[in-house]
Amino acid sequence: MAPTPRGRFEQRPNAQRRGGRRNNPRQPPRRDQIRQRTAGGQEILTNKRQLLKMVVSNLLPLEITQDPNFLDFIHTLKPTFQIPANMCTLLNDVHKKQEEELRNILAAADDIVLTCELWSSRPEDFYLTVSCHFVDGYGNLKSYMLKTASMLGDNSAANIQNQLSAVMEAWGIKEKVHSVVRAGMPQLKGVKAKWLHMPCFADTLNVIFKNLMSNNELSKVLKKCHNIVRFFKYNSEAEQKLRNIQNRLGLVKDKLILHSGDQWLAWLHMLKSLNGQYSAMVMVINEKGKTDLILNEKDKEKLNNVISALEHLKKATSMMKGNGFETIAVMLPLLKTLMDSLEKEKTNNDVAQMLLSQCREDFGDINKNRLATNTFLDPRYKNQLGQQSRKQAIYEITKELNAAKVLSAAKVKDLLDKYMAYEPNAEDSNPLSWWRNTGKKNFGELSKFALKKLGVVSTAVPLERAFSSAGDRFSNLRNSIEPENLNVILFLHSNW
């Protein structure tokens, strides 16, 4: 066979001509191949984390990721995506990382407030959810969930205290916690502890409304109103007739709202919707022969009185702005606004009179209230306190700072006089940021004390859950999570 001419190449496969790397298993992979594999692995990990984030952000049970219908849906979107057989490993890995980050954050915090909520998924299964709150270096109120613990059938004050202590120990914050705000848990009332126990404002309002509903006459009217709405909600023919009448007569058409819990704001929404549509509703009720649902004149008067009284409550609570948590300093100005408006109406509105009496019983005299100190230190509301409350606040501040040997009585008086002479802040300003910056610059050591007092929150749950139906929805979703994953999923839902 003749030799190959010099300067010419044999016809070889492309891979061999280029060094044989692609098909030679002994050769190391090219850089672009490594990048592709790494990118592919990163994409898979990112997809898995996004799936997990979807589960925890919507409070879904983890087992949904193995549901055949869910798997079919994912396969339709991306046939190559493989859901891990055990999502628990990824869940716990993410939880561990987020927990480490939170530990570092809490290590830098000064004064910490805890909130706790006792709730149940079933009558025998109670849980205690504990969250923490503190003011960061920029004057922002930060909130994180710490733990959800099973009460194991023991809801006693002693067990709740033990659970709280265990959470503080586990997170290394026991010496930093000075106040605990609780939702419900009347068994803690009067219990002595190293920290100050305070009731949740939103929960107290719901208890007040629940007590109002125990009034026999009022209870009958509210029950009848509930039955009217339920009749239209569960009878599609009756609702269609209602809408036809409203269209024909040009009447207002509102969404039918049905509520039967203790939340006063949800009841207000339901009653207002009913009241605005009742003239059309009664036509359908008569036609259907449901005469037991007809409101007489006395019932209508009571309905209007309830709506009017609760509107005062709604207007006052609107002072608590935004989502998340609000400083407790706003409570006294809010209560003063509420009680003053109820006082003006009580003569012609028996429900307003009852609500005012309940508020006085549960919140006490707003002119001799322990929250005077918190409100006094809020530069938005310091001038809204009466002389007696201002005097009480100055006494308490001086007493605490002297006991801690931070400032002398003379120095405290000088700083407080200077603070009182300072122009009040706008109501939409951030008092925490003000004390971190302007307050620290002008009033020195008083700044740290003020941030500690203003860092106490007013509710045990975020405002968006405390004063809306979102709280009911959250509770329903929370109840569906598997007990073994409950703490981790709720932790990531709040903090991730």
Report which DSSP code applies to 430: -
Q: pTM score, two decimals?
A: 0.86
- Bin 20: left if φ > 0, else alpha if -120 < ψ < 50, else beta: left
Please give the pLDDT value at position 357: 96
Beta bridge partners of 430: none
Q: What is the rounded CA–CA span in Å between residue 128 and residue 35?
A: 47
Q: pLDDT (tens digit, 9 = 90+) per residue, 220-252?
A: 999 999 999 999 999 999 999 999 999 999 998
Q: Residue 305 corresponds to which tokens in the numbers above? A: 């009185």
Q: What is the pLDDT of residue 27?
A: 55
Contact 132, 144 (CB under 8 A): yes
Q: CA torsion, points 372, 438, 403, 169, in degrees to nearest 10?
A: 90
- Backbone torsions φ then ψ of 354, nearest 5 degrees: -65, -40
Low-confidence ranges of the chain (pLDDT < 50): 1-23, 25, 31, 33-40
Q: Rounded distance, CA 163 to CA 157, Å?
A: 10
pLDDT at 28: 54
Nearest residue to 478 (alpha-carbon basis) of 53, 59, 57, 56:
59
**Helix locations, 234-289, DSSP H:** 236-249, 264-288
For residue range 151-184, list pLDDT tens digits in order: 999 999 999 999 999 999 999 999 999 999 999 8
Q: Which two tokens stand for residue 75?
A: 């396969």
